[in-house]
Structure 1
Amino acid sequence: MGGLPEYVHVNHRDARLFVVSLLVASGVSLQNAKTVALGLVQADLRGVESHGINRLPSYLARIRNGILDPKAEPTLTQITPVVAQVDGHNGFGFPAAHLAMKTAIEMAKTLGIGMASVKHSNHFGMSAWIVQQAVDAGMMSLVFTNSSPALPAWGGKEKLLGVSPIACGAPGGEGSIPFILDMAPSVAARGKIHKAKRRGEKIPGVWALDAEGRPTNDPDKALDGGVMLPMGGPKGSGLAIMMDVFSGVLSGSAFAGGVTGPYDMSQPGDVGHFLVAIKPDLFMSMDEFKGRMTTLYHRVVSSKKMEGVERIYFPGEIELLTEKKRLAEGIPFVQAEIDALNKEAELLKVGKIGESLRLECL
């Protein structure tokens, strides 16, 4: 009878240094490595371990297999005063998305709204870290991406649509927190199945089907020929198609099942993203907007609870509480995850995670 797994806790600064050291040793520029590390470690701090630093082995494998260009730099083309396009040139999705949101924010500061499409990109981690970039700049935002096929169109049984997250956010007011929503159109994110596989855990039987179309609690069967299940049936399927329209069709990147996932070593990902930044004080003062957000927050969290519910959370609040705890106590990893990460360190001849790593300018 198995007990609860034992965790190794790693300080977030050590985790960032570790990520940067691995990426720089793999040919990634220091600035781009810092951007990737920011996105990955922020996911771990917020409790979204499916998109944290455990993604590194697959990213590094793609570099070693010549599938992802570690030296690629995203380039920007200004289309109109409020529209820009970023070409990721098959580099990491993190710096491409960061540049796109930075550009959208600058356009929105002057013209009220800014939008950027990203083409020829790769996995950019947890969408919420890009939403946070906009929130930190005092902006509302929409963050879309498409991804490799994992869901059937409603009524079908083949992998066609990505488990592509829809994310958005807005700054909060005094006495409240920012609104940050980051959700997949599937019952659960595919990364959670990969996480369960790494940790030797079962998954809930409502998350996925096996290759024969039967519900399964085995992550291996879900990943090997199985499919994820869309949330709400045709509603989740429709949201996944929406992500493909705005992120893939519009950008000129792969779509309709053509995106290659981060665990597939056959060809470049060709992922597309779509990002929008909106100035919150377009129709009222910023103080009034923030006051209204505070009212919304308190009305949500103080609303009457259903039986058995102790607390109602605002979107992003659980993650914020998790981040506060992990900033103080460290990020928990099972030993198998630490071993897999340190195997990469040995291959690249850099210090192991948690060791006294030093890197200038971090």
Structure 2
Amino acid sequence: MSDTVVMTPTEIEAFAEEMLVAAGTLPQNAAPLARAIAAAERDGIPSHGLMYLPTYMEHVRCGKVDGKAIPVVTTPKPGTVVVDAATGFAHPAIAAGFPALVAAARTNGVAAMAVRNSYNCGVLGFHTEAIAVEGLLGIGFTNAPASIAPVGGKRPVIGTNPFSVAVPSGKRGASLLIDQSASVVAKSEVMKRAREGEAIPEGWALGPDGEPTTDPAVGLKGSMAPAGGYKGFGIGLFTEIMAAALSGATLGIDASPFSGTAGGPPKTGQFFLAFDTDTPSGGAFSQRMEALSAAIEGAGDARLPGARRLAARAKSDAEGVRVKASQLEAIRN
């Protein structure tokens, strides 16, 4: 008998919400996180989907994240929204500030939202795409516990620290979606290989001695390799400035790990920018982006950033998402 079952994204969302509530999360906090988990599975990003659900549940139970936290939203200035996640999940905190961010961007032409005392926000592009769905250009940053050492150093100073850009499209929400970390790959991919006992390609991580390794366990004890060397570290540092320093969140060097039960709440942060594209461009933004997108797609065997997710999304909607029954049972247990 096959261990694989087929679920719709809606069924995955309902299952994830039920499990989060069972672990001690308020329903209103579980709902936005469950939506993001289902979206990750739908878009072919399982490392941030059901695979991460047991960690979320474990962290609620051990107190690393407060499943009953109530986010506090303030607007200290017309174009600035600040959300205190109160050591709860990032997803309900971001969702709580989202209406104010969108309204401010439409009124002022641009608006910013800082989220502090937060947690792992999962797939960053999930949040920037939500801004694009509103017809706004969305840019996002999120920091993470330190896992990347500066070039020439051995001690991690910044996290994998992704940034994301979502370009609005009236037809499909985001016509172009960039979502990339400062490391060669997301740390979750190395953790996945470690759990499965598989080697990692050389260049993904460095051991404690600063040398490349193909052993994921050794890499997890050392540091992730920055994408593009010092340039990748620079991108991660930029994100750290935006998501931690500018948001008033905890720096990656002081944040507890997103995995395991050691330490208290990580209190990391996120920072989002939303732009009305027509005002600064004189209404030319969509035309310029169409020309730019056409040039990328016409440059040979190339695809737009985010195209793979859209293809996976379409397949999931047509055929459902294949999930291991044993994985579901392990989560229930």
For the aligned pair, the TM-score class normalised by the smaller chain equals: over 0.9
SS in structure 2 of the partner of residue 171 of structure 1:
strand
**How has the CA–CA distance of structure 1 residues 284 and 249 changed in structure 2, closer, same or farther, with 3 Å as cutoff?**
closer
1:297 equivalent to 2:301? Answer no
Q: Which residue of 2 aligns with 1:72?
A: 69
- Deviation for aligned residue 1:31: 2.6
**Residues 135 and 169, structure 2, Cα contact 8 Å, conserved in 1:** no
Alignment of 1:123-138 (within 5 A): 123-138=120-135
Asked if structure 1 preserves the Cα contact closer than 8 Å seen for 2:240 and 2:251, the reply is yes
- In structure 1, distance between residues paired with 2:328 and 2:145: 24
Which residue, 95, 118, 125 being the options, matches 2:92? Answer: 95
Q: Distance in 2 between matches of 1:227 and 1:212?
A: 10
Q: Deviations over 1:106-147 (max 9, x none)?
A: 101111111011110011110010011111100101100110
**Structure 2 segments unaligned to the other structure (5+ residues):** none
Equivalent in the alignment of 1:228: 224
Q: Quote the offset at 1:261 in angstroms.
A: 2.4
Hey, what does 1:242 align to over in structure 2? Answer: 238
- 1:144 corresponds to which residue? 141
Contact in 2 for aligned 1:103/1:114 (Cα 8 Å) = no
Shift of 1:209: 1.7
Deviations 1:198-230 (A, max 9, x none): 44433211101223333222222222x121000
Once the two structures are superposed, residues 51-74 of structure 1 have per-residue CA deviations (whole angstroms, 9 ceiling, x without a partner) of: 112111111111111221110011
What letter matches 2:54 in structure 1? P
Partner of 1:360: none
| Partner-residue secondary structure (3-state), 1:182 | strand
Structure 1 residues 251 and 289: CA distance shift in structure 2, 3 A: closer
Q: Which moved more, 1:132-141 or 1:252-261?
A: 252-261
1:209 partnered with 2:206: yes
Q: Please, which runs of 5 or more residues in structure 1 have no aligned partner?
A: 306-310, 347-362
User: Does the aligned pair in 2 maintain the 1:209–1:227 contact within 8 Å?
Assistant: yes
After TM superposition, the structure 1 = structure 2 runs for residues 255-334 of structure 1, keeping only pairs within 5 Å, are 255-265=251-261, 266-284=263-281, 286=283, 288-303=284-299, 305=300, 311-333=301-323
Are positions 1:17 and 2:4 aligned together? no
Q: Structure 1 pair 37/152, CA: closer, same or farther in 2 (3 Å)?
A: same
Compared CA separation, residues 341 and 11, structure 1 to 2 (3 A): same
Which AA in structure 2 matches 1:247? A
The CA deviation at 1:340 is: 4.4
Residues 150, 162 of structure 1: 8 Å contact kept: yes
Which secondary structure does the structure 1 equivalent of 2:273 belong to?
Answer: strand
CA contact (8 A) 2:249 2:267 kept: yes
**Separation (CA, whole Å) in 2 of partners of 1:341 and 1:62:** 18
Question: Matches of 1:176 and 1:300 in 2, distance apart?
Answer: 19
Asked if 2 retains the 8 angstrom alpha-carbon contact of 1:172 and 1:293, the reply is: no
CA displacement at 1:267 relative to structure 2: 1.1
Q: C-alpha distance in 2, partners of 1:275/1:166? A: 10
SS at match of 1:62: helix
Q: How many residues align?
A: 331
Percent identity among equivalent residues?
Answer: 29
What SS class does the counterpart of residue 128 from structure 1 fall into?
Answer: helix
* TM-score (ref. length: structure 1): 0.86
Equivalent residue number for residue 339 of structure 1 = 326
What amino acid maps onto 1:203 in structure 2? I
- Could you tell me which amino acid in structure 1 is paired with residue 55 of structure 2? S
Match of 1:185 among 182, 187, 194: 182
- Distance in 2 of aligned mates of 1:75 and 1:175: 31
- Kept in 1, the 8 Å contact 2:24–2:60? The answer is no
Q: 2:166–2:174: 8 Å Cα contact kept in structure 1?
A: no
Kept in 2, the 8 Å contact 1:57–1:340? The answer is: no
Q: 1:285, CA displacement in angstroms?
A: 5.7
Q: CA deviation at 1:176?
A: 11
The 1:293/1:238 distance shift into structure 2, 3 A limit, reads: same
